[in-house]
Structure 1
Amino acid sequence: MGIAAIVLSLMGLMYFAYRGMNVLILAPIMATFAVLMAQGGPVMATYTQVFMTSLGRYVVLFFPIFMLGAIFGKLMADSGASTTIAHSIIGRLGPKHAITAVTLACALLTFGGVSLFVVAFAIYPIAAALFRQAQIPKRLIAGAIALGSFTFTMTALPGTPAIQNAIPTRFFGTTTFAAPGLGIIAAIIMFAGGIAWLTYRQRNAALAGEGYGNHDDKLQSFDENERSGFMLAVLPIVVVIGLNAVFSLIVFPRMDLTYLSQQLYGNVAPATVIGTWSLIISLICAILSVLVLHRRYLRDAQKTLNEGTMGALLPIFNTASEVGYGAVIASLAAFALIRDSVLSIAPDNPTVSLAIAVNALAGITGSSSGGLSIALDTLGATYLERATALGINPELLHRVATIASGGFDSLPHNGAVISLLAITGLTHRSSYSDIFVVNLLVPVFAGIVIVVLGSTLGSF
């Protein structure tokens, strides 16, 4: 009965999330259903002491990153810096390489810390104009934006400030630059595989005589005089990546952080907070750089800061609610059977089991960060213990977990997928097949390659 309760609860979570029900309401309802069906209660104790405690812990750990990232993205968008970067890259490559240009523009912005939703809004009007000019089917725009925003810059590239790359640092004592060699290899596979697929689709469409299509896009126009030049626009992104590296790899590792062993500071190991601290400082400095360098292009800086701050609330509480749901499921007696089954997969190679667990949970929740958090919250300590006993570098666990979070998360009920289709005015029927390939099949293949390489060569 316990296993059935968990399965039915997960199916309900997937179904109602796909139907558009807000996860803030859905997660506690499905968690309550699982508790009642599996063991008959206690409902209120589970809600306040398990669900809400876990939700609150996630917010405490990651709210600064969500908030600062949202503010930075909003400043980059409102100052026109995002548009400048997109125009520059797309203008240089031109209509002949429209798909590659759109992908690279999205990649640079998301790698620099700009929210993927902000990127989609900023890139779409430019991409639509370019695709129309090149007579490339509009239905391929979603795949190009997804490839540049939701794949290698989110999970693979070392140093990316994406929350998916920050979460494992708390569990494995790593930094966002963990296993850089493996991350770069995975990024190359994702980029090359995605571009190859979309180019193949473009070529087939051209042979069939299919052009852009009859679409009323109502595109926004941009005044060149209201935006900075490319070098000034890209400088805040350099600040994010550069300072993150400096503080993660040089400054904090050389500081005396023994005071963290005091109860006042949670009695934590320095390695578990260095990654988060570095990201927070780099984002703060990047925000200040935008305010200084692009002040003349910001019509209302205070309004932008306020909107950016408020824009962080829904994403973090959505993810935290999913983490709370995962904590409730993990508290059920039946979950021990599932946990033991997952851990029994390749017992001598925890990276295989970790990749499967993260992919499965990301797919069920429709969230890369939610699935990753649930997996590491419930099994992270066990994986780290096993890896340590086997002499496996925690950096390999970090990179495998992060890449795995960006695989099955892109099923049709994924919130980012639904939002992207809404922004571009496309549908699952017209564009999801391409998203499926570039956001799910290719990243899963890249993850398999990384597991194999990591298992044979170790972390590098």
Structure 2
Amino acid sequence: MGLIGILIGLGLLVFFAFRGWSVLLLAPAAALIAAAFAGEPLLAHWTQTFMGSAAQFLAQFFPIFLLGALFGKLMEDSGSVAAISGFMTKKLGAKRAILAVVLAGAIVTYGGVSLFVAFFVLAPMARALFHDAGIPLRLMPAAIVLGTSTFTMSALPGTPAIQNAIPMPFFGTTPFAAPGLGIIASAIMLGFGLWWLRRAENAARRADESGGAPVADVDTAVDNERVRELATTAREFDPAEIHRGHRSEALPPIALAALPLIVVVSFNFLMSMFVLPRLNAAFLAEPRWGETSLSAVGGVWAVVVALFTAIVTLVFINRQRLPALRESVDAGANASVLPAFSVASLVGFGAVVAALPAFAIVRDWVLSIGGGPLVSLAVATNILSALTGSASGGLTIALDALGPTYMTLAAQHGIDPALLHRVAVIGSGTLDSLPHNGAVVSLLAVCGTTHRESYFDIVMVAIVGAIIALAAVIVLGSTFGTF
């Protein structure tokens, strides 16, 4: 009965979440259903297990949600994201429209701009480019996904994406875990995705497919409550805050627009590789600091310092382009709250499930998967991210339940925790892009296309390419170790 309860709770969570119900209510309800089938105390699981795990997630990662959303909003309102997109458009032009969209998305998201900020800026740019180039607008979502939601989210070393931060407390790693393997995986995702999109473009031209089609207004997507509920479980920005604040009409020069992104990457690297390793953090073992260690918090510290420094830099160089600074700051801060609590609720659901006796069956099945710990870790993160429609939620659930077990297995098999980190993050960013994923639904709404028109190409660039890259990382890591 316990396993049946887990399956029913998970099924109801997925079913109603896809229909736009709030995860803040669905997650505890689904957790209590699973606990009821197991005959476990309901209130204790809600207030102790569920809320304890959700609170721990917020304590670890809310600073990244907060500063990431704030940075994205200030980059948008200062005109920096639009300036970078315009620069790529001018340099590459309509003849290389797909490449321009992909690279613009990759630059801004790797530099720390929130996914949905990138969506709402890139979609109008892609619409104009694709129309001028005669490329079907149904390929817009796949091009934007490739640049914003694949290698810059899960593979490129040092990415400030929340998915890359989640394994750090579990494995004691940094944002630059397994950099060589991450670069190889990024090259595979980017190369495969561009090849597929070029192939799709050529096929459309041979079929004389028109480049024009009705496109939804961005405001319509922002105001869609179903889109909002789904979006906030997928990434760290609440779309409802997009149009709050005041966007600058005067765009900064490209050098100033790109400078905050450079600051994020460079300070992340300096903190991870030079500053924190030299820090005497023995005081963290004291009870007043939670009896933790630098390896458990250092990765988050590096990302937080990088984002904070970039925000200060951005405000300093763009002060005249931020006439409503307080409103922009408020909107950015508010944009972080619902996504953080939504993902924390998914994590709480996972904690209750992991605490049930029947979960031992699931754990034993996962660990019995052939191919070794790397393969079973990849399968676990894939499945949970697919079911929840959230890479961050699925990844945290998997590591909360199985992280210590994989660290033990890694020690037994001589596996570097950095390799576990990279496999887990890439694994979470594959099947999370199923049709109910919030980022997918939101992007289709922004672009004005449907699943029937655009989803197959999203599958190819976001799922197939990522799975190929994941397989390559597992094979190379198993053969040569971490590099």
Alignment deviations for residues 291-321 of structure 1 (CA, whole Å, 9 cap, x no partner)? 0011111120110000000000011111000
> Aligned equivalents of 2:128 and 2:248: distance in 1?
16
Against the structure 1 CA distance between its residues 43 and 210, is the aligned structure 2 distance closer, same or farther, given a 3 Å change threshold? same
Q: In structure 2, list runs of 5 or more residues that go unmatched.
A: 220-246
The equivalent of 2:353 in structure 1 is: 329
The equivalent of 2:35 in structure 1 is: 35
The equivalent of 2:232 in structure 1 is: none
The equivalent of 1:456 in structure 2 is: 479
**Paired residues for 1:110-121 under 5 Å:** 110-121=109-120
RMSD: 1.4
Q: 1:264 aligns with which of 261, 283, 288?
A: 288
Against the structure 1 CA distance between its residues 400 and 219, is the aligned structure 2 distance closer, same or farther, given a 3 Å change threshold? closer
> Aligned equivalents of 1:363 and 1:36: distance in 2?
25
SS of equivalent to 2:470: helix
How far apart are residue 260 of structure 1 and its match? 1.2
Asked if 1:343 is matched to 2:339, the reply is no
Q: For this pair of structures, how many residues does the alignment match?
A: 456
> Aligned equivalents of 1:247 and 1:293: distance in 2?
23
How far apart are residue 38 of structure 1 and its match? 2.5
How far apart are residue 216 of structure 1 and its match? 5.3
The equivalent of 2:337 in structure 1 is: 313
The equivalent of 1:6 in structure 2 is: 6
SS of equivalent to 2:209: coil
**Paired residues for 1:384-423 under 5 Å:** 384-423=407-446
Check the 8 A contact 2:193/2:460 in 1, yes or no.
yes
> Aligned equivalents of 1:267 and 1:47: distance in 2?
26
Which stretch of the first structure deviates more once superposed, 273-282 or 8-17? 8-17
Asked if 1:300 is matched to 2:299, the reply is no
TM-score (norm 2): 0.92
The equivalent of 1:441 in structure 2 is: 464
How far apart are residue 265 of structure 1 and its match? 1.1
SS of equivalent to 1:226: coil
SS of equivalent to 2:214: coil
> Aligned equivalents of 2:205 and 2:319: distance in 1?
45
Q: Look up the equivalent residue of 1:418 and give its one-letter code.
A: V
How far apart are residue 214 of structure 1 and its match? 3.3
Q: Look up the equivalent residue of 2:35 and give its one-letter code.
A: V
SS of equivalent to 2:166: helix
Q: Look up the equivalent residue of 1:175 and give its one-letter code.
A: T
Which stretch of the first structure deviates more once superposed, 17-26 or 153-162? 17-26
Alignment deviations for residues 19-67 of structure 1 (CA, whole Å, 9 cap, x no partner)? 121111111111111111232x411111001111111110111000000
Q: Structure 1 residue runs of 4+, over 4 Å off?
A: 216-220
The equivalent of 1:92 in structure 2 is: 91
> Aligned equivalents of 2:6 and 2:457: distance in 1?
32
> Aligned equivalents of 2:217 and 2:196: distance in 1?
28
**Paired residues for 1:8-157 under 5 Å:** 8-39=8-39, 41-157=40-156
> Aligned equivalents of 1:224 and 1:334: distance in 2?
55
The equivalent of 1:204 in structure 2 is: 203
SS of equivalent to 2:280: coil
How far apart are residue 192 of structure 1 and its match? 0.7
> Aligned equivalents of 1:45 and 1:272: distance in 2?
28
Against the structure 1 CA distance between its residues 421 and 194, is the aligned structure 2 distance closer, same or farther, given a 3 Å change threshold? same
Which stretch of the first structure deviates more once superposed, 237-246 or 12-21? 12-21
TM-score (norm 1): 0.97
Identity across matched positions, percent? 49
> Aligned equivalents of 2:290 and 2:448: distance in 1?
48
Against the structure 1 CA distance between its residues 46 and 216, is the aligned structure 2 distance closer, same or farther, given a 3 Å change threshold? closer
Alignment deviations for residues 306-362 of structure 1 (CA, whole Å, 9 cap, x no partner)? 000000001111100000000011011100111011112237x21111101000100
**Paired residues for 1:219-298 under 5 Å:** 226-298=250-322
